[in-house]
Structure 1
């Protein structure tokens, strides 16, 4: 059986101090007070210390602080048990007298307990003193702050007596209880446990999650954001993880513990002491804290507003608030009240009687009443709460304020103005003529704020009210719902609605927008285009939908001029350009010219090249950012935004981040994960796992990608996996077939990745003719698409095929400028085999593959260096297997042993231990003892 190890991470200093007190062989004992808030790890620290000391022959008596008679009784039982274990030892008469006296004085009822408490404590002190003459004794007493004052006094007398007998006494307690002070005053050492460092908490997350897998960074980030200053509190983190696991929010994705749904905040566990402190204040406590959580922050002079939010009177609110501030549940920072732990607000929100919109509505009514009374009111505050309130209040006041304040903020804070315009649009009814003017501005601001998902929902609601069945069952525009002046505004609303749906890849929902287009198609002169658009939507072909939609816009806006500031004609040119991005260069250049004519100066030469390269990997967030510039701000939790980070991290070589973002897409908010960005992210994740030699994970990622979907990129990853599994000939056969299918279908941009991979594999199979034929295809592709990526592949692949070092150098430099680290590494491998001085190329490639975390790639460069006689760079990566001695040292480090204690345990010198630890740090890439212990916990170090 493996030995049971005790690991306490982040408490080396505290363990050293406790060890020093216990190791002292003097006759004088000591009293150590260990303080720290609940969950700070006091019990874990003492538990680890007790197990360490037992190996040194130290006898530990550990008791919990309860009412003094019972506490003394438990300690006496422990003493008697120790005496019984050593019946062959001749005990002095004084010891036996003390034990007999304790037996006689031990309480048999409550009255007797109170009467005999001090004599019982005195005799128990004598017994412990005699025992301390035979062996080292440590008495651990936890949670002394929970004692009543009489029990605390009796315990203090006992502690003073046993300390004088040479016994080390260690007591624990929290930092905010009055009883604790008498022990603090008597203590020789008061040890305050600081919060654990973030790195220490992260090292422990895998163990605490209880799922035998590493924790994804998204979980760590969610805990950091939700727990704030309590992230360093081990008990809080453990209880939060336990609650998340019980709720089913911790799931295994790609062999990592992930949070579902990604981006949703975490809540404190129901039994957390902060929630207990709030409940102790009664219903008013929860209402006040929940009110602050909804409002975000509250200035002290705005307490009447907080009282309204909490649905209580001002006096009660102030009294409860004072108590909450004293207990640090709420913090007063320069006159502003905040909740330092956001997860507390989330937990309270789950049980809140008043949902957030009801709280905002109550504040709006309060502010409106103040206006009627003639009191000054901040109109921006009224607009803020009006936008979030659930009711419409039956009059125009909040709507007028929303519009006026949005007009005032439209240039300085577009996101807030968009919120307020949106709330106003949803509240305008019937004959209100402002609707037609507000809607275009709201659309523009929503797009600028990157809220395409929200915009699609808004326009779905607005556009659906514009449709009504005629008597004959056909659909027409319902004029009574909103005051639509002509068909121009309706057409523009529907265009932007369709654009938002396309952006969010909600192709199925476009069927509703088709109905609106059909209602105005004849009058706008675009009936044929509507039919083509409808057919494309019915088939669900994204590329054709884009093309048909751009044609529909062009036909529907044949006459110059636009309504408001929507610039529908520019949108048509934009969509035409996007539909042309994955085609040949001539078509792209025509679409680019149309876009530049409608939006002059928006797209420069280098950006055009980046556009095409982004489309080659399906990164439409990068495409829109390049086309819309500062007007495009994607939602951080959106699928396009996350996939953009997958691609960026992959190209830069930060593959761990790329995989984390791919896993976050798998745990998103959507009910299914079948959108294009999800599949493309799976392809990139599969390629990373394949390149790292983790073939099972790669296959699981690819299994979720439809066999014929996402073209050349999926085939590129599948062929790479086949080759790395030793099936190179099959990879070439499958890849050729796939390339020809996608080429004939017209999807060509980005396929240079697949072609370059097939050329490399053909050369490995000594199929020079096949490689040259594929290279001809690659050159033809480059002539057709003229992208930066295709040019690099022609240079690098051609250089490998024709042993042209100059071509290779240029290709690698272009890839380096574009930030494609994997392509640079591939070029370095070829240059390392062909260049006169291969060392810099081989060392650079080795460093890159190390950054990728790819042992397969490092092996390739190691073989090349060996064949070329190049000395490998100094390696700091861990070996796969540790020796028995090294494993023992890491075990002892994990147990918290000092170098001196390790040397004693292993019967070697301290210098030998230091030397071995230095080598271990170097080989494992660990910078400290904590990281070494964490590496063992996470399974990164393998025992021989």
Structure 2
């Protein structure tokens, strides 16, 4: 054990406890110990830790830096380096005997003495006596760091120290040196290998380096960027320093988050691996940059690369072998080269620069084109390098046609790559082909879900604005711009389709404040977007249907397949707030603007000018709520924090093929689901994104419901760090984060997430649910009940207008508290609210909300059991815990229900729920099942707490790291203070390092 040997790992050295124990067990014996590991593995840090531990035990220790003697190649024994090390430590260990030995060696250590065999022998003998003087008859340790620069020297010097009876510890990479040293003398030596650190230790290393608890997503992102260097401490620390200097590590919600996680992470320019590549071959960085920036690069391409950089093929082959040997490159059995460390590729791209890299791609493309672009095996690589080369002349070939042909071929197996080549074709095509290619590309990017690329394409297209021959259909541009803005979390730059500004038909300014272009007209009959009808002669899209109760205007045509629902009639009895007609039962969408606030797209003079999904005439999807423009949706989303309605979105996205009935779009289980709405409106034309704020929001909701709270909170932090604009999904993310933090007994952080309690939000029911929980957990149940009653009434009225988001959460929390406090009269009102919620469900069977309220109001175990079964089948653990509590109140055997609730509480880290479950178990006389899967001994927890204190964490940060409440951490610290007699955290750390707390 390290504590028995006296060597302990401090916070500067993480994950090397076993290695320290191995070295500590040999201290005092004249044996060589070789510490081996790759660059950055922490050899120097380990030697520093050994030196510190030995000095704490009053063991004489020196560290010899042989690398500092690199300019003294004549000094074969490294005597000058030994002299320097002893002079540094002379004040602590010096004496007359050591001083005499120092003077003797200094006098003998000259180039001339090394040339004479007899003098060289005397020098070696005096060097051995110098080490004997240093040891002084007690245990002594000599450490040699970074000896690969002088392998022969260290063998001689270490031999002298070993003959003098010292323990020798050498850090090196050379296997030959290691074998020669460990075979010296009578006692067999030992080799200590420093392997890669595990995930847990990497997380601790990041926390120690940044002095902050990292978000769960930070460490995986760093490891993914490092690839083969993922467990290398030096590389991890280098990336942490670089990311902090770039401002990409930010504190959000009590944890350190990675801003812009989709951006590349590069090794620092001064990293040893980058320097090695640059020094080894003049073209080394260019080769790695080209491999990193190409879709594929194989050994067969080296000949073309050599020609492109005016190099020798043999030299390129040697470079690949060398880079593979040091772990920079990987080669598959079929000869494809890839970067073993993506961060190295990103660093190479940064070092080469965009212009030089594009020129390299261009040279590569020209060499491939010279072979004959008609050759099938050349087409795809040529297209890849053409796309990366940018809008440049590549000779006599038709680049646009070639890129289109290659995109068509690759699309079935790699749609994103096909879209990238399709985008590159825009830069090479003729002006007459530009509208068609742009229109097709916009639809393709929507179909594959690459809205980040969509935004870039639209920004580029805006540079050609004003020239009709070079732009796509205006309606498609507006719809695509709307999608790009909502999915990327930022309005596009001024000049794109929606950034130029709009005005409403009544003259009210749009969110951007700019007026319609001269000559632009309001749509026919669009005095109010609510209830606006199709213009005369307009046709519905193929397959579209009018909503129930809506009528087609006189003269409107319908293509084959478009039908009006059975029984559709003129809604003479239904009016909107502005007096416009509404279909029977229809309601304004959540957050819909007033009729006078609606704005027209800047590029649509009239609905009759907008392109239909089929490209012929005006065929917008007409909803009961009118013609709200894409620009207005974006303006309200970012400017007023208002969610969009299903119907207005269907109209705005009609040019992209929105043929689904607006009122059929789901809002599942009362949760706002933008991605689900887009999918319902656009159908197969919509691709689900893999990144962006809407994906993060979906992760938050899904993580909350399925009990993955750590992941949900991580997504919330990433959303705030990456997309700072205030939008409806940001509000819901903050509300859910506040709820989870409060239930984890962190009220301060919950308040930070919640923000201003008086601010009007887009989702009052969700906010009411969170604030009601805050009141309840602060010991004010009566105030919480009264607040819940008011909030529930307001939410029911909002639901009648179509806003049902969060109503079920508020109803269940209100009902549970009313049952707990015995408010039977209030339960009757809640049952009415549940029935109102039931009216908004599209399922024929009773919903979970109605079942739970029925179970609480009527003390019905079958209803609670049915609700629990439904939630368990869906995997919604958070809501299942509530259902189990309701079932436990009504069941004859409460033990299994309380046991399940307690298990879920442990998984969530919900301290309030766990306390309530155990209190209810005591009241019912029930013994809960012993939880063994995540149990930890008291000593293990206490040791872990001290280790986190060593990293500089506060009690709150420690609680989050070990998933305990802050009060539990305080109780453990109180127990530790009593056990050790310490009075402060600093004294506790000192006691831990002295071994007063045995590690279990």
What does residue 303 of structure 1 align with? 302
8 Å Cα contact 2:856-2:886 kept in structure 1: yes
What does residue 830 of structure 2 align with? 774
1:942, 1:15 → 2: CA distance? Answer: 16
8 Å Cα contact 1:409-1:416 kept in structure 2: yes
8 Å Cα contact 1:492-1:566 kept in structure 2: no
What does residue 73 of structure 1 align with? 83
8 Å Cα contact 1:613-1:787 kept in structure 2: no
Spell out, residue by residue over 1:243-299, the C-alpha distance to the aligned partner (whole angstroms, 9 max, x if none).
212222211111111112222222212331112212323653333332322225521
3-state SS, counterpart of residue 635 of structure 1:
coil
8 Å Cα contact 1:298-1:306 kept in structure 2: no
Question: Bigger CA drift: 620-629 or 166-175?
Answer: 620-629
More helix by share: 1
1:238, 1:567 → 2: CA distance? Answer: 59
Residue in structure 1 matching 2:25, options 20, 25, 28: 20
What does residue 338 of structure 1 align with? 338
What does residue 870 of structure 2 align with? 814
Matched, 1:258 2:314: no
What does residue 726 of structure 2 align with? 674
Residue in structure 1 matching 2:746, options 691, 694, 712: 694
Spell out, residue by residue over 1:698-744, the C-alpha distance to the aligned partner (whole angstroms, 9 max, x if none).
11111178433322122222222222123334434444444444544
What does residue 930 of structure 1 align with? none
1:369, 1:700 → 2: CA distance? Answer: 63
What does residue 753 of structure 1 align with? 809
Over 3 Å counting, the alpha-carbon distance change for 1:882 and 1:557 in structure 2 is: same
3-state SS, counterpart of residue 707 of structure 1:
coil
Matched, 1:134 2:186: no
What does residue 163 of structure 1 align with? 162
CA apart distance, 1:776: 1.7
Structure 1 segment 572-721 matched on structure 2, within 5 A: 611-613=666-668, 616-625=670-679, 632-668=686-722, 670=723, 672-703=724-755, 706-721=759-774
Give the superposed CA RMSD: 4.9
1:530, 1:419 → 2: CA distance? Answer: 38
Matched, 1:10 2:15: yes
2:139, 2:459 → 1: CA distance? Answer: 77
CA apart distance, 1:358: 4.1
Residue in structure 2 matching 1:723, options 761, 776, 779: 776
2:106, 2:300 → 1: CA distance? Answer: 59
Q: Normalising to structure 2: TM-score of the pair?
A: 0.73
8 Å Cα contact 2:155-2:177 kept in structure 1: no
Spell out, residue by residue over 1:196-239, the C-alpha distance to the aligned partner (whole angstroms, 9 max, x if none).
3332433423443323x311122112211111111111111112
Q: Normalising to structure 1: TM-score of the pair?
A: 0.76
What does residue 50 of structure 2 align with? 49
3-state SS, counterpart of residue 10 of structure 2:
coil
Structure 1 segment 198-217 matched on structure 2, within 5 A: 198-211=198-211, 213-217=212-216
Over 3 Å counting, the alpha-carbon distance change for 1:720 and 1:564 in structure 2 is: same
Residue in structure 2 matching 1:795, options 839, 845, 851: 851
Over 3 Å counting, the alpha-carbon distance change for 1:500 and 1:52 in structure 2 is: closer
1:405, 1:570 → 2: CA distance? Answer: 35
What does residue 220 of structure 2 align with? 221
2:715, 2:912 → 1: CA distance? Answer: 23
1:571, 1:370 → 2: CA distance? Answer: 55
Question: Bigger CA drift: 442-451 or 421-430?
Answer: 421-430
2:426, 2:912 → 1: CA distance? Answer: 58
8 Å Cα contact 2:60-2:141 kept in structure 1: yes
What does residue 584 of structure 1 align with? none
8 Å Cα contact 1:456-1:501 kept in structure 2: yes
3-state SS, counterpart of residue 217 of structure 1:
coil
Over 3 Å counting, the alpha-carbon distance change for 1:286 and 1:789 in structure 2 is: farther
8 Å Cα contact 2:213-2:255 kept in structure 1: yes
CA apart distance, 1:180: 6.7
3-state SS, counterpart of residue 351 of structure 1:
helix
1:565, 1:368 → 2: CA distance? Answer: 40
3-state SS, counterpart of residue 543 of structure 1:
coil
What does residue 172 of structure 1 align with? 171
1:612, 1:195 → 2: CA distance? Answer: 51
Over 3 Å counting, the alpha-carbon distance change for 1:664 and 1:853 in structure 2 is: same
3-state SS, counterpart of residue 172 of structure 1:
strand
Residue in structure 2 matching 1:119, options 114, 117, 122: 122
8 Å Cα contact 1:843-1:872 kept in structure 2: yes
Spell out, residue by residue over 1:509-539, the C-alpha distance to the aligned partner (whole angstroms, 9 max, x if none).
7465869999998799675577999xx9xx9
3-state SS, counterpart of residue 138 of structure 1:
strand
CA apart distance, 1:354: 4.0
Over 3 Å counting, the alpha-carbon distance change for 1:56 and 1:505 in structure 2 is: closer
What does residue 285 of structure 1 align with? 284
Spell out, residue by residue over 1:302-332, the C-alpha distance to the aligned partner (whole angstroms, 9 max, x if none).
1144346657665665565555445443444
Task: Name stretches of at least 5 consecutive residues in structure 1 with no aligned partner.
Answer: 88-95, 469-477, 580-586, 896-919, 921-932
Spell out, residue by residue over 1:375-411, the C-alpha distance to the aligned partner (whole angstroms, 9 max, x if none).
8861112222223332242876110101122233343
Over 3 Å counting, the alpha-carbon distance change for 1:453 and 1:284 in structure 2 is: closer
What does residue 840 of structure 1 align with? 896
Greater RCO, CA 8 A, separation 6+: 1
1:393, 1:889 → 2: CA distance? Answer: 63
2:664, 2:749 → 1: CA distance? Answer: 36
8 Å Cα contact 1:102-1:120 kept in structure 2: no
Structure 1 segment 52-451 matched on structure 2, within 5 A: 52-54=53-55, 58-65=59-66, 66-67=68-69, 68-74=78-84, 76-77=86-87, 84=94, 100=100, 102-107=102-107, 111=111, 114=114, 118-129=121-132, 134-147=137-150, 149=152, 152=153, 155-175=154-174, 182-183=180-181, 186=184, 188-189=188-189, 191=191, 193-211=193-211, 213-281=212-280, 283-295=282-294, 297-307=296-306, 317=316, 320-321=319-320, 323-334=322-333, 335-355=335-355, 356-371=357-372, 378-393=378-393, 397-430=398-431, 432=432, 434-435=433-434, 437-451=436-450
Spell out, residue by residue over 1:68-88, the C-alpha distance to the aligned partner (whole angstroms, 9 max, x if none).
231231355479667657x9x
Count of equivalent residues: 837
Task: Name stretches of at least 5 consecutive residues in structure 2 with no aligned partner.
Answer: 1-6, 70-77, 504-514, 533-576, 578-587, 634-645, 951-975, 977-988
What does residue 31 of structure 2 align with? 30
8 Å Cα contact 1:30-1:167 kept in structure 2: yes
